[in-house]
Structure 1
Amino acid sequence: MNTSYDVKFWEIRRNASSKTPSYVIRWKVGGREKSKTLRTKALAESFLSDLRQAAKRGEAFDLETGLPLSLLAVKSAVTWFSFAMAYVDMKWPHAAAKTRDSLTDALATITPALVNEDVPDKPDVLVLREALRQFAFPPAARRFPRSEEIRSALVWLERHSLRVTDLAKVRNVRLGLDALTLRLDGGAAAATTIARKRSVFYNALQYAVDLEELPSNPIDKVKAWKPPKVREVVDRRVVVNPTQARELLTAVTYVGRLNRGRHLRGFFACLYFAGLRPAEALGLRQEDCHLPVTGWGRLILAKSKPQTNKKWTDSGEAHDDRGLKHRAEDEGRPVPIPPELVAILREHIDEFGVHEDGRLFRTSRGGVISIGTYCEAWKAARAFALTPEQQASPLAARPYDLRHAAVSLWLNAGVAAPDVAERAGHGVDVLLKVYAKCIDGGTEVANRRIDGALVA
């Protein structure tokens, strides 16, 4: 195979020679010009992005096809199982840890279903899932020692997996879609889980289309299968008012031993008064904080520390250092904070200091606080601060609900939606869609206007 590292890209352009909209990607490998036409600009941008990412990683490109070797491996896969492994290899280097987790979770659900009909001796579903999630899909794990049971399960998949071209048939692709609707125990999967896994399946099949292994995405042809609707709006019942929020923050200080609760008060206060995501608060450093003696302060968020399984991170740690959601890699987000939070953070720093890397919130040994730790503390705080009826309700059931309460408060205070979106790190359209049911007063205003129109 002849390869080259000399790669040049041009901007996507509309295909002027076609009556129906289509878009052309053009690039050059070792002086040879290549092109590909896709029917939507989004698909073209996605394909070009993968080419650019491969070049950025220093991959060699095949002179004949113009594809980087990672994409070429996907194209050369024959069975769905081998295609799925090559697809993971292509996505893995530039995917976040949580994305890797979600990717392998979805493919481990779909792949055992995409096998030839009536094949004998199918391994147990739990064994197949473990074989895929723990040994086949994570690239580094393929070198791990395997039990005979795991080895046999993977050999069975290699032997009986459908060919990629077989997925052009709707009846075959439905096998994968139907598998997404069930949990491992046979019960119905949650709507959000089905939607997330279907998205992975669709994107994987779209790559097969891009590489000309399939004529079109077969999921688009499935008319009788509809994913369940996903709740996309915040339930206003989870939103606490300022009095309840302050009572919960006080209750946190009575939780746990060795000042664990007192140390977490500032963490939870950041979620409520600044609308931070938990991972953003865990990444907050002293240098990110402007905390004046009086008046409003400001946080300049730069990093977040999302938690996932060590298997999915490059560092081997449970928390990755990541940029902010919906931002460029090095782009920060300024968040003005009220005097109340300024005072809480100043008290926190005076009492607990900061880690050597500047982080405000950490374990007694300097590590990153786990989801289990702060959720356990929050559960105990709810028991202190809320009535039995409130404890049984969805009110502030999760720490993340403090962020929902913050954004709802800002919107109901009359802060313009673009300003709220900037503080919260949302797009305006997503903000108004997600928090539509948490905005007070709309019904009353509408009623008064209708009354006025009826009188006139």
Structure 2
Amino acid sequence: MDDLLDPEVMRGVIRSLSVRADGSAVPGSTQRHCKKTLVNAVGYAFGGGGAGDDLIPEIRWQVPTDDEEVDPRVLVNPGQARSLLDALSYVGLYGRARGRRLVGFFAGMYYAGLRPEEAVAVKYQDCVLPAHGWGRFVLHETRPQAGKRYTDSGRNHDERGLKSRRRGAVRVVPLPPQLVTIWRQSVDTFGTAADGRMFFTERGRVLGSSGYCTTLRDARILALPPDLVESPLVARAYDLRHSALSTWLNAGVDPTEVAERAGNTVETLLRTYAKCLYGRQTVANDRIDKFLGDYE
């Protein structure tokens, strides 16, 4: 611990938290999280006061602040999303149903704005899926993938509550008719896992990120023209959630309602999707023109 009092040593620690093993930069949000964890750990090691609390703030550590904004190039429109979901049905052998099993999983991210760890944990008993109209899903559990070395259970996925919410918190997620239909078809075709999970592997296990990311990559090749396959368009599963929230905002849904459905704060929502509000600049220009015209 005495070594951490040496500014050069601490600078080395900070630099190691700012880059990946391959030398590329770590996202700003991850750097901020690492800094907070490091400050708390050092403060605890020094007894909660004195040098431990003051050591890190004295060292200049500039963390990027603009990387949270979503790149508009990753967003799919409704037509592209439907093509991608259709293409999933053709990924893998029909009997193994590698892609067909994941149609509802990816549809939950696009139509309901679920995070991957939330979509993995969807259970049939928590859903209302009517034959017609909107349904709803009560979200109270997530299954983030951390790896066996980092979970108390020794499994790849932790069983946790909602992100950045108190223990026991729930979120009611409205489900549009398109998603209700897809989820009903998924249950009719594949049933549910032993614990009620709607999306699972052929052996009933929890979906792993490597598996569904590979399936998404294969579906992109089938669904998109060659020029878009080489683009960042929906290159990650999380981009479907980004597309969902951007679509809701552009449809004119109140940001407070969008934030409530997505499990975000309004501040985070607007900061993240500020560049994805297509057409808003034109609307603003028209209003400014009208206001200035009134004085001419």
Is the TM-score greater than 0.5? yes
Separation of aligned partners in 2, 1:402 and 1:181: 27
- Kept in 2, the 8 Å contact 1:263–1:348? The answer is yes
- Kept in 2, the 8 Å contact 1:180–1:189? The answer is no
| Gap regions ≥5 residues in structure 1 | 1-79, 81-162
- Structure 1 residue ranges, 4+ long, deviating more than 6 angstroms after superposition: none
| 1:234 corresponds to | 70
- Kept in 1, the 8 Å contact 2:107–2:179? The answer is yes
| 2:83 corresponds to | 247
Separation of aligned partners in 1, 2:113 and 2:272: 15
- Kept in 1, the 8 Å contact 2:139–2:171? The answer is yes
Q: 1:395 to 1:167 in 2, by over 3 A?
A: same
- Kept in 2, the 8 Å contact 1:274–1:337? The answer is yes
Separation of aligned partners in 2, 1:216 and 1:318: 34
Separation of aligned partners in 2, 1:372 and 1:172: 36
Q: 1:254 to 1:432 in 2, by over 3 A?
A: same
Task: Give me the CA root mean square deviation.
Answer: 1.9
| 2:238 corresponds to | 400
| 1:431 corresponds to | 269
| Gap regions ≥5 residues in structure 2 | none
| 2:49 corresponds to | 212
- Kept in 1, the 8 Å contact 2:43–2:49? The answer is no
| 2:141 corresponds to | 303
Separation of aligned partners in 2, 1:351 and 1:182: 45
Helix, strand or coil at the partner of 2:138: strand
| 1:269 corresponds to | 107
Q: 1:267 to 1:189 in 2, by over 3 A?
A: same
For residues 213-240 of structure 1, the C-alpha deviation after alignment (integer angstroms, 9 at most, x for no partner) is 51742222224x5334450111111110
Separation of aligned partners in 2, 1:191 and 1:343: 37
Name the aligned partner's letter for residue 204 of structure 1.
A
For residues 234-261 of structure 1, the C-alpha deviation after alignment (integer angstroms, 9 at most, x for no partner) is 1111110000000000000000121121
Helix, strand or coil at the partner of 2:221: helix
Separation of aligned partners in 1, 2:207 and 2:73: 28
Separation of aligned partners in 1, 2:86 and 2:12: 52
Residue 332 in structure 1 maps to residue 170 in structure 2 = yes
- Within 5 A, what are the aligned runs for 1:56-455? 80=1, 163=2, 167-184=4-21, 187-192=23-28, 193-208=30-45, 211-214=48-51, 216-223=53-60, 225-257=61-93, 258-455=96-293
Helix, strand or coil at the partner of 1:221: coil
- Kept in 2, the 8 Å contact 1:291–1:342? The answer is yes
Name the aligned partner's letter for residue 92 of structure 2.
G
- Kept in 1, the 8 Å contact 2:44–2:52? The answer is no
The one of the two structures with greater contact order (alpha-carbon pairs below 8 A, sep at least 6) is 2
For residues 73-110 of structure 1, the C-alpha deviation after alignment (integer angstroms, 9 at most, x for no partner) is xxxxxxx2xxxxxxxxxxxxxxxxxxxxxxxxxxxxxx
- TM-score normalized by structure 1? 0.61
- Within 5 A, what are the aligned runs for 1:25-36? none
* Greater gyration radius: 1
Helix, strand or coil at the partner of 1:300: strand
Matched length: 291
- Kept in 2, the 8 Å contact 1:234–1:434? The answer is yes
- Kept in 2, the 8 Å contact 1:202–1:217? The answer is no
For residues 92-140 of structure 1, the C-alpha deviation after alignment (integer angstroms, 9 at most, x for no partner) is xxxxxxxxxxxxxxxxxxxxxxxxxxxxxxxxxxxxxxxxxxxxxxxxx
- TM-score normalized by structure 2? 0.91
Q: 1:453 to 1:306 in 2, by over 3 A?
A: same
